[in-house]
Homo-oligomer: A and B are copies of this chain.
Amino acid sequence: MGEINIELMQKDSPIGIFDSGVGGLTVVREIMRQIPNEKIIYFGDTARVPYGSKSQETVTRYSEQIVRFLRQFNVKTIVVACNTASAYALDTLEEASDIPIIGVVKPGARVAADVTRNGRIGVIATEATIGSRMYSKYIQSISSNVTIYGKACPLFVPLVEEGLLEDPVTDEIARRYLAELIDIDIDTLILGCTHYPLIRSTVGRIMGDRVTLVNPAYETALELKQLLAGRNMLNDAPPKLGSEQYRFFVSDKAEKFVRFANSIIKYGILSAKAVNIEEY
């Protein structure tokens, strides 16, 4: 992979963003909205998706390969736009990195701790993210007077990928997963998986108006903006006409990715390039 030349990093260097597949595009969408001048290099690990049922060791190895891939593009920062990878691998990635790496768990945890009034916060996420207890750890490190209830929802990702965003089956599954969170009277619910904002209205309807839904994508984009502003590394102007502002890479099924991506992001995504991530 060779040496990384830090001195080449400029305000107009791109931001690297990765996810296990398409879910991270909900984070990309927020970043495009909040800091529209930035260049983005996105990698979706579609050959090994999903991460949410895999082990910490495996998810960390995959994440390290992807960071090596992204650094080829002289990125000025990396966003881990996947809750599972943020929960399992962020500390390891940060330790080994000389550029800032931010995940989606901390920003989501921070806002949840801030908005709760009764101190009862729910987290819905993959098996892996819930098992890691990372949301609990972060929230309790900020605010000791809260209780966090985690609930793994393994069918949500396949239901979203099957396109059943508004469907009686998704309703029924959501009612089952959310029942215990309603029973214990949470007032704040973190959508702890990047796919879940896509079924936000179903979750919101079932939880009712009294529960605030927290979408870490929004908070992550905000944190990224503040981080870059603090280092005077925000891009001052839009990229030159003709230069590629957004580039998408995947480890498999580039065409399917492009179709899904265009259903999430307004900006027209023309293509994604397939790479063999195991070589990194």
Residues in A lying within 8 Å of B, measured CB to CB? 46-49, 53-55, 57-58, 61, 154-155, 157-159, 161-162, 168-169, 172-173, 251-253, 276, 278
Q: Which residue of B lies closest to A256 (CB)?
A: B53
Specify which chain B residues have a CB less than 8 angstroms from the CB of A159 in the assembled complex: 155
Q: Say how far A76's CB is from chain B's closest CB, in angstroms.
A: 29
Q: Which residue of B lies closest to A157 (CB)?
A: B158
Instruction: Report yes or no: B173 in contact with A169, Cβ–Cβ below 8 A.
Output: yes
Specify which chain B residues have a CB less than 8 angstroms from the CB of A253 in the assembled complex: 53-55
A54-B155 contact, Cβ under 8 Å, with A48-B48, A169-B172, A278-B278:
no
Complex Cα–Cα for A161 and B258 (A): 28
Q: Say how far A207's CB is from chain B's closest CB, in angstroms.
A: 20
Specify which chain B residues have a CB less than 8 angstroms from the CB of A173 in the assembled complex: 169
Complex Cα–Cα for A54 and B173 (A): 26
Specify which chain B residues have a CB less than 8 angstroms from the CB of A53 in the assembled complex: 49, 161, 253
> Can you give 6 A-B contacts (C-beta < 8 A)?
A46-B54, A47-B54, A53-B161, A55-B253, A169-B172, A278-B278
Complex Cα–Cα for A47 and B55 (A): 8
A158-B169 contact, Cβ under 8 Å, with A47-B54, A58-B252, A253-B55:
no
Complex Cα–Cα for A61 and B48 (A): 13
Complex Cα–Cα for A61 and B275 (A): 13
Specify which chain B residues have a CB less than 8 angstroms from the CB of A161 in the assembled complex: 53, 154
Specify which chain B residues have a CB less than 8 angstroms from the CB of A54 in the assembled complex: 46-47, 252-253
Complex Cα–Cα for A49 and B20 (A): 13
Complex Cα–Cα for A154 and B58 (A): 24
Contact of A158 among B55, B158, B251 (CB under 8 A): B158
Q: Say how far A92's CB is from chain B's closest CB, in angstroms.
A: 17
Q: Say how far A125's CB is from chain B's closest CB, in angstroms.
A: 15
Complex Cα–Cα for A157 and B161 (A): 13
Complex Cα–Cα for A215 and B162 (A): 25
Q: Say how far A37's CB is from chain B's closest CB, in angstroms.
A: 35
Instruction: Report yes or no: B155 in contact with A162, Cβ–Cβ below 8 A.
Output: yes
Complex Cα–Cα for A49 and B50 (A): 8
Complex Cα–Cα for A54 and B278 (A): 15
Q: Say how far A134's CB is from chain B's closest CB, in angstroms.
A: 18
